[in-house]
Every structure is written in C-alpha cells, then in structure tokens.
Chain A
Amino acid sequence: MGRRLLLEHDNVPGIETFEVYRKQGGYRSVEKALKSMSPEQVVEEVQKSGLRGRGGAGFPTGMKWSFLAKPEGVSRYLLCNADESEPGTFKDRYLMEKIPHLLIEGMIVSSYALGANTSYIYIRGEYMWVLDILEKAIAEAYASGFLGKNILGSGYDLDLYVAPGGGAYICGEETALIESLEGKRGNPRMKPPFPAVKGLWGCPTVVNNVESIAAVVPIVNDGGDEYAKIGLGKSTGTKLISAGGNLVRPGVYEIEMGITVEEFIYGDDYCRGIANNKKLKACVPGGSSVPILPAHLVTKTAAGEDRLMTYESLADGGFASGSMLGSGGFIVFDEDQCIVRNTWNFARFYAHESCGQCSPCREGTGWMEKVLYRLEHGQGNMRDIDLLAEINKKIEGNTICPLGDAAAWPVAAAIRHFREEFEWHVNHSEEAQKRNYGLLKEVASA
C-alpha cells in the first residue's frame, strides 16, 4: 500500500468533528500558511508540487492559479467544484463525507493563496446529506476561529459558504457552475473571457475540484517538492480512484500515481481482481466520458509496456489505443457485460444532461441515444453503426463546452474496439431483443 495523504485518517472514529480532526494534525497548514507564508509562496509551493486538476482535465493547478487576474479593488473568488456527477466517480463524496474538515482546511489555504475573501463550495443537489455534514463542519471552523474575520490573528478574513445545485451534470462545467451559483440557468458560457478574468459576478474566479483543493493541505504541510517526489513524471502525488463495476472489492482508493493498472485491478491492497472469477472484458479508467479500453489494452499499452495509473500512461496511444485518467472513475466490466448496452446507457446519460444550448450537442446526443437504443434492442442495421461514428465526428470539438466531447468519445471508442459486438446485435436481432443484459456465452468468447 502506498502513501496516503488525503485519506490517511479516514477511519479514525469521529474524524468528521473538529476536535478529532485537529488532534490528528488538522489545520496545521492554515497555521503554517497564514503565519509564515505569503500568498505568493503558497502558490509557488503548489506550482512546485506539480499538482494537476483532479476534476478530469488534469490541468496544472498552480498554473491555473497563476492565471488569476488581480485588478485593484475587485474581489476574487475561489469556488470548489463538488458537483461530482460523472458516472462512475464518487471519490469527492467519500472525502467530504468522511473528512469534511480536510476540504475546509484546503479551502482556507487556497483562498488565502488566491486572495479570496469569500469562497463557495458548490455541491450537487443529490448530495444533500453531505451538505449537512459540510455545514456542520464549517460552523465548527467558524467557532474555532479558522473562518470569519481575522483568522488566527493574521488579519485575513474568509467567509465560506456551501451552495447546493439542482443536480445537473452540466453544472460541473466551471462556467455553468458559475452561472448556476449566480442563480441563473446552468448554461456554460462562451470562452473567452475565461473565469480567471471574468467569473463569478464578473470577478476573477478560480474553480477547483474537491480533491485538488484537499491536496493543497499536504502540499503546504510538507512542501511542494516533497509532494512532487510521489508519483511519476508529470503525474505527481496521490490520486483518489473510485473503482466500480465487477470487482471483488470496489471502493475509493488513494493510490500513488505510477502503480500499474494490473496491480490496481488485481492487487491485494486494491480491488483484488474481477468478481466471481470472471475475466476482464473492458475498462473505463476515468469516468464515463473517457474512451473505453478492451481487456488487452487495459494492462498493457499498444506498444506492450505496462499501463500505469498516470495521466500519461493511460493516454498512451492517443484515442486509437489509449484513454484518459479523467476524474478517476474506474469502471470495470467482466466478460458477461454488454458493451452496446453500456454505451447506450452512457449515451442516455449525456442526452439527458445536455443543457440544450448549442445545436450539435442538443441534437447529436439525443440522436445517438435513439440510434443506440435501436441497436441494443435489436432494431438496428449496419448503416446505424457508421451513422453513429459520423454523428460523433460532427459533435466532437464543435460544441461550446466539453460535454459534447464527453458524449462523443465513449461511443466512438466503443465502436472502435467492439465493433463486432454492435454487428452481432444487428445480425442477431431476435436474441438481442429477448436478452436484456449481458452477452451470450458463445459470443463473449468469440
């Protein structure tokens, strides 16, 4: 088992309370930052750490912070994106549920680094009970003087609020999140201007994922260089992976970047292999929007090297034979699972969650869903498979926000790697109609 920086104390009883958290060394980073570091120094440490955004895109957090515009007399805001709605991803929920104070501590230090005096945690509407946990923790932090006016006598003020969304996937897109927070319909904005220049209420704003903000705590405590020692190359530190699907032991794992995918799936410290002694068929390594990988490309890259749990290694081979680390929603399929059904399920999600603002996404996601529904239910024809690939190409890259890409990639990858299964659905329409779930044995082995 590798080092655990975020979930080190997740099993300590009462860790959700301020007292226990403080006893375990909590809020040290706030003391360190506010008393001995300037905001610029904190930003510098984060830059040194090489921390990359944990929400999915993997953009370096320190660089994002350095882009923040700092005009005189204009407020700046830090928003925490807790609208974790990517299918297969549940790491932020675990973190907030178990150790809410870690997020709050990270928010204080990050807000201090960015010079924000008001910060928000935007949490998805489905996480209502987590909202209660966070609000309770925030109240405790206020009572102990870690939030509010003149924190620890440093002269730095911070107000922290939790704002629940209505449960829309699109509000995880940073500009849609800002719109939603402003009380409007959660439609992504056109960029430029980027939030770093014009974000919440027209002020410079940084939006970071829950895990990125939590990771700032160990970075400030131990220094950015220390954090950068963990991991491999440009994938530094630890990463929370929410493993789901047909695994012996699914759950949230904190891994050191750079362990092999094989170890993660089969290792005793992690998922302990595929459930029910089945074989691995496919894996979606980073949440539903990243390309699916067939078994032979999950543990090895196309070049035959070991596939590692890093941003680079998972993306090795581009979309032809690689995928993405994304948000760390690691979904594993065993040999009985039907890729067509799963692809339809994902497509249905994106069709449902498209905001409907720009035409390729609004019409394209719905169209793909309908075609995939027909294929899955034995009413498709060979033409449909090519049609899907065509629709894909017309959506990808042509939309306002990345939701269009997120909807197009899984479908494109499924057709690329599992075309014969789509064709089976066309050629065996009666069996496809009768059977609702899982492939027939002979087809799976064929």
Chain B
Amino acid sequence: MVKVTIDDVQIEVEPGTTILSAARQIGGDVVPPAMCYYSKLPGTGGKCRTCLVEVAQGSEKDPRPMPKLVASCSTPVMDGMVVKNKTSERVHDNRGGVVEFLLINHPLDCPVCDQAGECHLQDLGYEHGSAKTRYEEERRKFDPIDIGNKIKLHMNRCILCYRCVHVANQLTDKRVHGVLHRGEHAEISTYIENAIENDFSGNMIDVCPVGALTDKTFRFKSRVWFLKPMDASCSCTKCSGKAVVWMFGNEIYRVTARKDAYGEVEDQDGKAGWICNDCRFDRKDVSNWTIEGPRKINRHSVISQGQYLSPRDTQKQLTDGNK
C-alpha cells in the first residue's frame, strides 16, 4: 500500500492507483471533476484536462514537485505523494481556463437541451465558469444527426471526451463510430450516419457527460427534474435488468442505467451494469418492471428539488447519511 495526501487528507491505496481514484476513495470535495475519464471504460481519460491537479511532492524518495499540472485520472500515485486540488490556486485558475475552453464553442442551449439538470458541463460551468464569455467569434455549428433510429447526436454540444467512442469500440469490431477531422473541426460520427447495430449501443447516451447524445424516445418529453427516478428491475435475458425508470405519475418516460455519484454506471452482480436497448428504449410500460423504490439522488442535484420526498423524509434521508 502507498500513502498519498490529497488536500491535506491522507489515505492508503493500492500501488498503481491513479490520483483521481485515490481522491474518489476519500470522497467529498477533494475529488477533481472528470469529463472524459470513465472508470468502467478502459482507455478513457487524459483528454478533457478538467481533472488537472498540482503535485506538490512527487514521492517520498523524490520529493521534487512536478513542474506541470498533471491529469489526475491518468497519473498513478507514488508513496508519499502530496497532491493539491482545491487547495491550489494554480489548479483553480487553470481549471477555470479549461472550462472556458470547453464552453467557447458550446451552444449554451441548456433551455432546450435534454441533458439540462444532469449535465456535467453545467455543474462544471457553475463551479468554475464566468458569467460572461470573452469569445467574440462565431461558434462551431453542426447539424444534428441520427445515429440509428433511437439516438440523436448534437455535435454542437459535444466536448469530444471520446467516451462514446470507447463504448462503440467495445461493442463493435469495425471502428464504426469515431472521430472525423482534426482540431477544432473534429467531430464524432458514425461513417456516415450509420446506426450501430448492437443491443448495447444505447449506453453511449449514458456515458455522454453533456447533451450530445440523447435518447430519441425521450427527447423533449420532460425535464428530468419533473420526473421521479425509481430503481426498477425486470427479467431481461440480455442484461442485468437492473435500471432506473424515470416516472411521471404512473408513466415511464425513460429508462437509464443506475449511475453513481460520478455519473458512472454502478456495478451489478460484479459487472458494470450496462443495460440493453430493449430495456432502455422499448420497456416503457410499468407492467414490464418491478419497482424497487425511489432512487437516491444527491441532495444538491436539481433533480431532487421539488421531489417526491416530504420535508420530513428529506430530513431523514440527510441524517441517514445520504451521500
């Protein structure tokens, strides 16, 4: 085990653990935000640069600080490493810069975006963004396209985290879904507007941190904070059948995988709990599902505002240690 100190909190972790996952073991606000890293998808990370942290001491043996900020999602910890995240002015400053970069070409169409309310870029912009843009140029524009008949791609909103590319790479063996062009003109696409023929392609929607990939069976149906997320299960032969159904009254508006505090799918039966397209797109009737109970939502989330819990329940949830 190696000892690492993140924002003055010490923790012992397995050798080879990244700074980010060590921080997640501590939890709370020492955890750097991550837009592209996804622990369930090998190979992701390093691209968005929002998780940059300062390494004030490289290790016990070599205490020199690292000259540059490092991507915490892909830098392994060393014994005696001292990391600064929220306690570093430099990190705060540069993370603000990265958020500005992510936002300059973002359309900021949150009022009509289905991701609003559960968008990681919104959270990030809220924490690190500024109220005004310094970008006077025209923003990059693409036409929305269909990836198959169930998934819509709004390239304007994409931050090129490559998560969906990694999902597609796992599902298919022909590299059908990837990035075209280069630099500013880079765009996610299937070549060209093809559907991805796979029962699990819908998981691309779940991994998307922004509203670039959305569920066509749910688009414009409702804002997420008007819906009640309920843990539900069904006897599916393709996947674990454990999902979250988002209900309004007795109607199911959409189905997603069960996600943890970092927006990643939770493990089900020891495996990442991806759900299949049948569960996601077709099982929209309550009779398909066994409702297990209300999904616990982070109390800071807009989704838990005006929710189904009475104030007393909310209080109880808080004292029970809802994390």
Contact = CB atoms under 8 A, between A and B. Distances in A.
Interface of A: 168, 170, 185, 190, 192, 351-367, 370-371, 387, 393-394, 397-400
B59 to A, nearest CB: 14
5 contacts: A168-B182, A353-B182, A356-B181, A359-B98, A366-B184
A356 B161 CA distance: 10
Given A359-B98, A363-B104, A351 B52 contact: no
A362 B68 contact: no
Interface centre among A359, A363, A371, A400 (most CB of B within 10 A): A359
Interface residues of B, number: 35
Interface in B152-210: 159-160, 162, 178-179, 181-186
Interface of B: 45-50, 52, 67-69, 71, 74, 76, 94, 97-98, 100-102, 104-105, 134-135, 137, 159-160, 162, 178-179, 181-186
Given A354-B182, A356-B183, A365-B184, A397 B68 contact: yes
**The 3 nearest A-B residue pairs measured at CB:** A394-B97, A356-B186, A366-B184
Contact of A190 (B50, B74, B98, B182): B74
A6 B136 CA distance: 50
Contact of A394 (B76, B101, B159): B101
Contacts of B134: 387
A354 B46 contact: no
Nearest to A367: B104
B187 to A, nearest CB: 9
Contacts of A351: 183-184
A394 B98 contact: yes
Nearest to B50: A359
A398 B184 contact: no
Nearest to B181: A356
Nearest to B182: A356
Contacts of B46: 190, 358, 400
A440 B194 CA distance: 55
Contacts of B179: 185, 356
Nearest to B138: A370
Nearest to A393: B97
B52 A398 contact: yes
Contact of B101 (A185, A357, A360, A387): A360
Contacts of A399: 49
Contacts of A168: 182
Contacts of B50: 359
Nearest to B161: A359
Contacts of A354: 182-184
Given A353-B183, A356-B184, A363-B105, A398 B97 contact: yes
Given A190-B45, A398-B94, A399-B49, A359 B102 contact: yes
